[in-house]
Amino acid sequence: MPNKAIVTGGAGFIGSHLCERLLGSGYEVICIDNFITGDRSNIEEFLDNENFRLIEHDITQPLIPEGLDFHGVKEIYNLACPASPVDYQNIPLETLWVSAAGTKNMLDLAVELKAKFLHTSTSEVYGDPLEHPQRESYWGNVNCMGPRSCYDEGKRFGESLISNYAHKYGVSTKIIRIFNTYGPKMRANDGRVIPNFITQALEGKPITVYGDGYQTRSFCYVSDMVDGITAMIGRERFAGPVNLGNPEEYSIKALAEKIVELTGSKSKVSYKDLPQDDPKVRRPDISLAKEKLGFSPKVGFEEGLKKTIEWFSS
Ligand code: UDP
């Protein structure tokens, strides 16, 4: 019997890369997505694969099992959630609700199927961090009423829900905290910094740096992130939470300059207001992921950016 997995948010950026990896490893994959921020084009290439099934469904609604064959599903990867600040601030209630009701519905399914449940949490649980780099033991600095709270608090609630389900029902759960990730299949208009800068540079438009550009982020190429996710599901007796990301840290200004250089663009930087509660620094401490999962990002920043630029150019 092949491994069988459900991937919620499987038509999203990271979700579609995860589906591809699982299919390549001989899995049967059931992708559940309502396309609120995911994109059908991300999974188009899998639709002819007999091991791939798409269920168009909003996981905040209970799954009606009639006609749906979840028999034999041993793993559920819960990725469904808008993840770009522009997206989630446009649809804050959907964002809160998918982290709450959506996660609950998928946990109930995991209990019923006795499947492992892997949840994608986020570096945003650390908010605008007062500890740097961020370790899993840090409790964070989140404005629970701010514009990012729908995402941050949704993900924090999700972590609480999952750990309590694990205690109450003995379901095997795993929480990863994903730091900024990039690569092909990001939506050009999703509002995040790398797709914005690349499309602006390719079109010769001004590069919109928010604030003074000295805020920092650490960017992980998507194949490294998928390596971390698959290592986590395979690791017995380790529930996390565990940080996954690339600890190389860059200022947003340096990122803008790098993208201009790699695209050979004539674009100039144009400074805009910094959005409220924008974290000033972010860098994962990945010691735990190294120790427990042997996780170590392999794709260098310039190499990853070149691949991403190539994808956006085509
Ligand atoms: N940013 C920017 N210009 C843009 C988009 C984003 O300067 O066109 C900045 C944003 O203010 C933040 C960083 O880039 O400091 C990363 O933003 P992103 O939306 O990618 O994700 P975040 O890490 O904030 O969730």
pLDDT in tens, 278-314: 999 999 999 999 999 999 999 999 999 999 999 999 9
Give the pLDDT confidence of 219-275 residue by residue, as tens digits.
Answer: 999 999 999 999 999 999 999 999 999 999 999 999 999 999 999 999 999 999 999
Q: Is pLDDT above 90 for 63?
A: no
Considering only the top CATH level, what class is 4-179+222-245+284-298?
Answer: alpha beta
68 confidence band (pLDDT: 50, 70, 90): confident
Q: Is pLDDT above 90 for 175?
A: yes
- Specify burial of residue 156 (Cβ count, 10 A radius: 0-12, 13-18, 19+): buried
Q: Which residues are catalytic?
A: 151
**Which residue's CA is the closest to the ligand 1 atom numbered 11?**
210
36 confidence band (pLDDT: 50, 70, 90): very high
Quote the pLDDT of residue 207. Answer: 98
Q: Which atom of ligand 1 is nearest to the CA of 197?
A: 8
**Which residue's CA is the closest to the ligand 1 atom numbered 4?**
193
Whether the Cβ atoms of residue 75 and residue 115 lie closer than 8 Å to each other: yes
Quote the pLDDT of residue 65. Answer: 60
Q: Is 155 in the pocket of ligand 1 (CB under 6 A)?
A: no
Please, what is the average pLDDT of the chain? 97
What is the pTM assigned to this prediction? 0.98
**What Å distances lie between residue 76 and 58, 244, 295, CA to CA?**
16, 18, 21
Quote the pLDDT of residue 2. Answer: 80
Whether the Cβ atoms of residue 43 and residue 64 lie closer than 8 Å to each other: no
For the chain, the structural domain boundaries read 4-179+222-245+284-298
**What Å distances lie between residue 275 and 69, 85, 90, 231, 263, CA to CA?**
45, 10, 14, 35, 27
Half-sphere exposure (CA, 13 Å, Cβ side) for 92?
10
Q: Which atom of ligand 1 is nearest to the CA of 207?
A: 8
Quote the pLDDT of residue 110. Answer: 96
